[in-house]
Amino acid sequence: MIKAGNISPEKQLLSALDRIAKNVRGYSVLYINTSKLKPKNRHPQFIKIIAKSFDSVVGSVSGILFIMSNGDISILSKHITPDLVDEAFKKLRQGLAADPLLVGQSSDFAVIYNFPNDYLNFYNRISQMEQHLAEQEQNSEIIKRPITAGELDDIVAFLDEVDIGEIVKRQSVLNVNSQGKFSLRFQEFFVAVKDLNKYFNGKIDLVANQYLFQYLTTFLDKKTLQAFSSSELSLWPQSISLNLNLSSVFSKEFVYFAKNFLRPDQTVIVETQMMDILNNIDLYLEAKDILHKGGHKILIDSVTPASLGMLNVEMLMPDMIKIFWEPLLEYDTSNEYLKQTIQLLSQDNIILAKCDSQNAVKWGLGYGIMSFQGPFIDEIEVAHLRQMCPHKQECKAIECLKRHRFLQGAQRQECASLANLDKLL
């Protein structure tokens, strides 16, 4: 068994793969997805038990076992057969029978990579894991400190001179119908904190001091509302969403924006953070009332299925709620809070965000959710845009995505078909 010391197990495995690179025929890797198990079954002690379950595989084929940094297990050897895997899998199932991942076929839990056909694919997978680990270690070495009031004044002064339109991004929420076809539900416009960080000292944590961060975001709300022009809005869909503080709904900038820039048929969905609401429920109710009088809507953002229980949805009665997807939810198919919320607000008013795979969409559809947002949805949208683009051979999909996300700026101007970037699905 190879254990991580000063050298990561990913690097050790890559080194072993390099040693056999000239003659990989006959080798294979059994990769065990322990990181997909329920959290309670991913305790280091359980990982050791799981590794022990596969001793018969290691011993039978004289293999080398690596426990990866995320808890997954890799066995590199010759002559690994499905029968050997099934035998070990049966032993494991006896000990962890309650885990949903172990209810299905062994292939859902353990994958065999046969070389040479799968060599490059597997090598790239481990390389990416090692690179991600290295980035995490590098980032952890940067000790950040909370921003001070003086530094915040400097940042606000700097942003006051910046064309904020160059850091405002958009991301679509797509709706899927009963035939599996996607269409645009609305587009969200926002400024990401990580985009602000690149302008300033990397050792400053903009979020650590919640009071100063709220002041900064309130200032950004006003700048963002001022960044839009009527020409841009004419190209936007019927519904747009803006990430705003509750207090920004009462600002003169928002009132001016709503009265002077929106088309008569356009509505605004104000996305506000769950914690912002819980900190001042009276302000939320007042903001919701003002929005409704103007024909607009309010959405509670950044909600997880687990945190739904903290919300009195029946009392707050938002127009929409945005649920954040995470991979472990794949096995949560009977969340009563979520079912009750969907029944209360209707399935049309629940958005599943941060969808990074088809599995996320399938999970949402299982609950009756039909609106989705996230990297996987971005890929669908960009693929559609590229189908219609006469210059698609001149760039990569990732370049299209980045240009599509920005409203203004040099990166967007690199597109050879600017009008195509604004087409709606």
- Is the pLDDT score of 1 beyond 50? no
pLDDT digits (tens, 9 = 90+) for 193-242: 777 776 676 678 887 787 888 888 898 898 888 877 655 666 778 899 99
In this prediction, residue 419 has a pLDDT band, given cuts at 50, 70 and 90, of confident
pLDDT digits (tens, 9 = 90+) for 284-308: 999 999 999 999 999 999 888 878 8
- Which of 174 and 153 is assigned the larger pLDDT? 174
- Which of 6 and 346 is assigned the larger pLDDT? 346
Torsions phi, psi for 209 (to 5 deg): -95, 100
Bond before 375 cis per omega within 30 degrees: no
Where exactly are the structural domains of the chain?
9-138, 145-421
In this prediction, residue 326 has a pLDDT band, given cuts at 50, 70 and 90, of confident
CATH class of the structural domain 145-421: alpha beta
**Residue 53 CB neighbour total at 10 angstroms:** 21
- Of 184-193, 206-215, 405-414, where does mean pLDDT reach its minimum? 405-414
Which of 237, 232, 288, 287 has its CA nearest to residue 261?
232
- pLDDT value at residue 409: 73
Average pLDDT over residues 159-172: 80
Q: What is the pTM of this model?
A: 0.67
- pLDDT value at residue 315: 92
In this prediction, residue 69 has a pLDDT band, given cuts at 50, 70 and 90, of confident
Q: Pairing state of beta strands 204-205 and 168-176? A: unpaired
Torsions phi, psi for 297 (to 5 deg): -130, 165
In this prediction, residue 140 has a pLDDT band, given cuts at 50, 70 and 90, of low
- pLDDT value at residue 348: 93
- Is the pLDDT score of 340 beyond 80? yes
Token pair listed for 366: 């299982």
In this prediction, residue 411 has a pLDDT band, given cuts at 50, 70 and 90, of confident
- Is the pLDDT score of 5 beyond 50? no
Query: In one letter, which amino acid is 89?
Result: F
- Is the pLDDT score of 415 beyond 70? yes
- Is the pLDDT score of 132 beyond 70? yes
- Is the pLDDT score of 98 beyond 50? no
- The three state secondary structure string of the chain is CECCCCCCHHHHHHHHHHHCHHHCCCEEEEEECHHHCCHHHHCHHHHHHHHHHCHHHHHHHCCEEEECCCCCEEEEEECCCHHHHHHHHHHHHHHCCCCHHHCCCHHHCEEEEECCCCHHHHHHHHHHHHHHHHHHHHHHCCCCEECCHHHHHHHHHHHHHCCHHHCEEEEEEEEECCCCCEEEEEEEEEECHHHHHCCCCCCEECCCCHHHHHHHHHHHHHHHHHHCCHHHHCCCCCEEEEECCHHHHHCHHHHHHHHHCCCCCCEEEEEEEHHHHHHCHHHHHHHHHHHHHCCCEEEEEEECCCHHHHCCHHHHCCCEEEEECCHHHHHCCCCHHHHHHHHHHCHHHEEEECCCCHHHHHHHHHCCCCEECCHHHHHHHHHHHHHHCCCHHHCCHHHHHHHHHECCCHHHHCCCCHHHHCCCC
Judge contact between 119 and 178, C-beta under 8 A: no
Average pLDDT over residues 168-195: 88
- Of 59-73, 98-112, 330-344, 371-385, where does mean pLDDT reach its minimum? 98-112
- pLDDT value at residue 360: 92
- Hey, do 9-138 and 145-421 end up sharing a CATH topology, with the first three levels equal? no
In this prediction, residue 109 has a pLDDT band, given cuts at 50, 70 and 90, of confident
Q: What would the CATH number be for the domain defined by 9-138?
A: 3.30.70
- Is the pLDDT score of 165 beyond 80? no
The pLDDT > 70 percentage for the chain reads 86
- pLDDT value at residue 286: 97
- Is the pLDDT score of 102 beyond 60? no
The pLDDT > 90 percentage for the chain reads 25
Mean pLDDT of the chain: 82
- Is the pLDDT score of 19 beyond 90? no
Per-range mean pLDDT, top range of 284-293, 336-345, 384-393, 402-411 = 284-293
CA–CA gap between residue 252 and residue 271 (Å, rounded): 18
